[in-house]
Amino acid sequence: MVRDFRRSWQLGLVALLAPALTSSALGASAPTAQQALSVRPVQRDVEFDTPAAAEMEKCNVGAEKEGKQSGWVVTDANGQVLRRFNDTNGDNTVDEWCYYANGAEVYRDIDSNFNGKADQYRWLNLGGSRWGFDKNEDGQIDAWKQISAEEVTAEVVRALATGDVKRFQLVLITPEELKQLGLADEIGKRMGEMNSTATERFSKLAKLQKSVSDKTEWVQFGATRPGQVPAGENTAQHDMLVYENVVAIIETEGKNDQFPIGTLIRVGDNWRVVDVPPVGGDTALADSGIFFQPAPLVPQVGGDARAPDSKTQKVLAQLDELEKAATNSASPDEMAKYNKQRADLIEELANDAASEEDRQQWLRQLADTVSAAMLSGTYPDGMQRLNGLYERLAKDGKNEELTAYVKFRVITGEYTLSLQGESPDFLKIQEQWLKDLETYVTAYPQSPDTAEALLQLGIAQEFAGQEEDAMKWYGQLVSNFPKAPGAAKADGARRRLESVGKLIDIQGNTIDGKRASLGQYRGKVVLVQYWATHCEPCRADLARLKELYAVYGNSGLAILGVALDSDKAAVENYLKSTRVPWQQLYEPEGLDGRLANEMGILTLPTMLLVDQSGKVVNRNIHITELDGELQKRLTQRSASASEDDTRKR
């Protein structure tokens, strides 16, 4: 009923505006602001600006025309755009209804077949990146042309909250998409079986689960960075970009919680869930994920490999049987029992190991196994067991490196579990985490995990604004662990923190295979933007940067993009649709690659402003600061240039 009412208003406005949309009638009587602002998006979950009734009288409606496109634009008393209603093909009928928030378009209804009814819905800029198709024009999305991983998790939460099976199906990977991935036989069969029953199980879950209600709101996406699964005989015919163990942060009547989503796979411009959420045991998805499983439980020893004795063989056989008997639909109690038995067998293998080297390998496996199960919520007693293992090793005092290895997993586990607790005190938890890290690096200065601890300390202190402390930790990492994975990032972070007033060099291959460098823009004010397609604030910044480039591009502004996606096709497809007019550096390693590490890029978006001489003037400029900074610097430059011209004359 509500949707029909909205559509009648929408079509009514089409008729109202149509006479004024011809090129010869732009001066005709415009609709009133109240009439134009009364129209609402076909889709409900859109946040856009609508002034209060008293302020509508101050709004203006003006005609626009560019080529074949013409229409009306609605602005508020300050000239900020609120709506646009466009006729894109010159047939005297509105076919685009555009909605704005804070002056930027956030949503658009599109009539692509020009029959007076919207058949596409796009969320834009800060509104997101969804693009839905409505084939029968009934106001319901029938397919997603584009949707991000973050938005998929929000769709799953809303589908559960409303019991909308179709909404879930639209983000569930299809049999055709599974076939397109070219999955290997074993994993393809497993995912096919999950897929064939997912809809039925989701319908059952929606009725039984209590975690999400009609009062639940999606708040945030939670996951570690996505991983690139390389093509190969054990996975798929093509590379795949995958998120494992994804959660959605949700809020229900003021209470925050984490809701598990599972595994997401990128297929073209879309992300897909592969199964129903792993809630209440009714799921075919393994808790440890599908693609990033732990390494096989076989110790890797140096020198000549020794065949296991009969007792070890027996325990290994028991471990193998336990793995085969495991079921992904087990209850929480059954999973806890399984993880305990698994840990018991691994510890038995360690106790009976033929050599100290084998013993250490099994104990590392034990620490990793218990830690992973504990953090996945399937081993409630895991923290106690991990602490017990550490205390025994510390008391024994024979192997400091192994003791340090287990201790790092203890403090990491305590930190993660604290964040997952009910009503966590984030400030207190962060303070304890930093204290534990400092204690760790003092107690175990040579441990390989100390390199990671130093990086975490540096990052935390930088984010807290304690830059001197951050420089200390970064420097310690670079000096003591120059070959550690995080050393290049720490060295780059130091370079970035000290960069203001200094020349910097950023160069590499562009997305289209050319060479580009910061030096080629000498004489211009240059903005360097580090971004990625999966970063929603980055996409919003790109839209604003295009506007600023249109204003300042001829006055001496240059922009150099650094795309930090791991998927080149994602960048190429995005740039085709957005048509960004400046060069984009690209290397496939993303945030772990050279382009990110050279300046220690930790978060996205990050933007640096460089002056005409090539020196950094702001190493972390925000998009809201940029207009004023450019106006000041480019105006100063223009004034200086005019004075030089006067002297020459």
The CATH number given to whatever domain includes residue 516 is 3.40.30.10
Structural domain of residue 226, as residue ranges? Answer: 169-198+207-273
Q: Residue 321 has which token pair?
A: 């049987």
User: Which residues have C-beta within 8 Å of that of residue 421, sequence separation ≥ 6?
Assistant: none
Q: Out of 27-31, 492-496, 597-601, which region has the weakest mean confidence (pLDDT)? A: 27-31
Q: What type of residue sits at position 457? A: L
Give 4-61 pLDDT, tens digit per residue. 333 333 434 444 444 333 333 334 467 888 889 989 999 988 989 999 888 998 999 9
Domain count, the chain: 4
Same domain, 82 and 14: yes
Contacts of 2 (CB under 8 A, 6+ apart): none
pLDDT digits (tens, 9 = 90+) for 360-374: 989 999 999 998 888
The band of 493, judged by pLDDT with boundaries at 50, 70 and 90, is very high
189 and 90 inside one domain: no
**How many C-beta atoms surround the C-beta of residue 168 within 10 A?**
23
DSSP summary character for residue 43? S
286 lies in a domain? no
> Is the omega angle on the peptide bond into residue 605 within 30 degrees of 0, that is, cis?
yes
Q: Is 290 inside a domain boundary?
A: no
Q: Is residue 282 part of a domain?
A: no
The dihedral of CA 310, 311, 315, 316: what is its sign? negative
Find the mean pLDDT for residues 266-274: 89
**Which of 172-176, 194-198, 331-335, 400-404 is predicted most confidently?**
400-404
Rg (CA), the chain: 29
SS3 218: strand
pLDDT tens per residue, range 426-483: 889 989 999 999 999 999 999 999 999 999 999 999 988 999 999 999 999 999 999 9
- In this prediction, residues 511-525 reach a mean pLDDT of 94
Task: Tell me the C-alpha distance between 262 and 245, whole Å.
Answer: 5
For residue range 621-638, list pLDDT tens digits in order: 999 999 999 999 997 554
Conformational region of residue 511, where left means phi above 0, alpha means psi within -120 to 50, and beta covers everything else: alpha
Locate all alpha helices (DSSP H) within 420-527, ordered by sequence: 426-443, 448-463, 467-480, 487-497
- Tell me which H or E stretch contains 636: helix 623-648
What pLDDT does 233 receive? 55
Does the residue 298 lie in any domain?
Answer: no
pLDDT for the residue 458 = 95
Residue 561: closest CA among 574, 447, 552? 574
User: Which residue in 78, 79, 97 sits closest to 87, CA to CA?
Assistant: 97
pLDDT at 401: 94
- Asked if pLDDT for residue 647 goes beyond 90, the answer is no
pLDDT tens digit sequence for 542-583: 999 999 999 999 999 999 999 998 888 889 989 988 889 999
Looking at 453, 468, 497, the residue that finishes a domain is 497
Question: Does residue 296 form part of some domain?
Answer: no
Q: Both 342 and 490 in a single domain?
A: yes
At 405, which CATH number? 1.25.40.10
52 neighbors 39 (Cβ within 8 angstroms) = no
According to DSSP, residue 275 is labeled: S
Looking at the structure, tell me whether residues 489 and 523 fall in a common domain. Answer: no
| Higher pLDDT pick, 403 / 180 | 403
Residues 6+ away with beta carbon under 8 Å from 170: 141, 142, 143, 144, 155
In terms of domains, do 24 and 134 share one?
A: yes
Among 15-19, 46-50, 214-218, 307-311, the minimum mean pLDDT is found in 15-19
- The amino acid present at 499, given as its one-letter code, is S
Q: Which residues pair with 618 in a beta bridge?
A: 609
Residues 488 and 411 in one domain: yes
pLDDT at residue 416 is higher than 60: yes
Residues 6+ apart with CB under 8 A from 50: 37, 82
Question: In the prediction, which pLDDT does 388 show?
Answer: 96
Report yes or no on whether pTM surpasses 0.85: no
User: pLDDT confidence of 334, banded at 50, 70, 90?
Assistant: confident
What is the helix (H) or strand (E) element at residue 101, kind and residue range? strand 96-101
E strand or H helix at 132: strand 131-133
Residue 104 lies in a domain: yes
Q: What is the pLDDT of residue 549?
A: 95
State the chain's mean pLDDT as an integer: 85
pLDDT, residue 19, reads 35
Percent of the chain exceeding pLDDT 70 equals 87
Residues 601, 477 share a domain = no
The residue-averaged pLDDT of 519-527 equals: 95
Residue at 331 is within a domain:
yes
How does DSSP classify residue 138?
Answer: S
Tens-place pLDDT, residues 113-150: 998 899 999 999 888 899 999 999 999 999 999 999 99
Highest mean pLDDT of the ranges 181-195, 298-312, 427-441: 427-441
Residue 416 and residue 548 in one domain: no
Distance CA 223, CA 202 (A): 22
Taking 70 as the threshold, does the pLDDT of residue 382 lie above it?
Answer: yes
Q: Is residue 284 assigned to a domain?
A: no
My answer on whether 520 and 462 are in the same domain is no
Q: Are 647 and 556 in contact (CB under 8 A)?
A: no
DSSP 501-514: TSB---EEEBTTS-
Choose the final residue of a domain: 497, 517, 552: 497
Q: Of 497, 529, 556, which residue sits at a domain end?
A: 497
513 and 452 inside one domain: no
User: Which residues share a beta bridge with 221?
Assistant: 248
Per-residue pLDDT of 250-262, as tens digits, reads 888 878 777 889 8
Looking at residue 500, what DSSP letter applies?
A: B
CA–CA distance, 567 with 589 (Å, rounded to integer) = 9
Mode of pairing for the β-strands spanning 557-563 and 584-586: parallel
* CA dist., res. 93 & res. 118, Å (int): 12
Long-range contacts of 443-447 (CB under 8 A, 24+ apart): 443/404, 443/407, 444/400, 444/403, 444/404, 444/407, 445/480, 446/401, 447/400, 447/401, 447/404, 447/405, 447/408
CA 216, distance to chain mean position in Å, is: 21
Give yes or no: residues 323 and 452 share one domain. yes
Cα distances (Å, whole numbers) of residue 316 to 207, 288, 297, 326, 542: 42, 21, 9, 15, 55
Sheet-wide strand order for 120-123? 60-66, 69-75, 81-87, 96-101, 104-110, 120-123, 131-133, 143-146
Q: Which residue has the tokens 């208003």?
A: 9
CB count within 10 Å of CB 401 equals 12
Check: CB of residue 194 under 8 Å from CB of residue 284. Answer: yes
Residue keyed to tokens 């990492």: 477
256 with 375, same domain? no
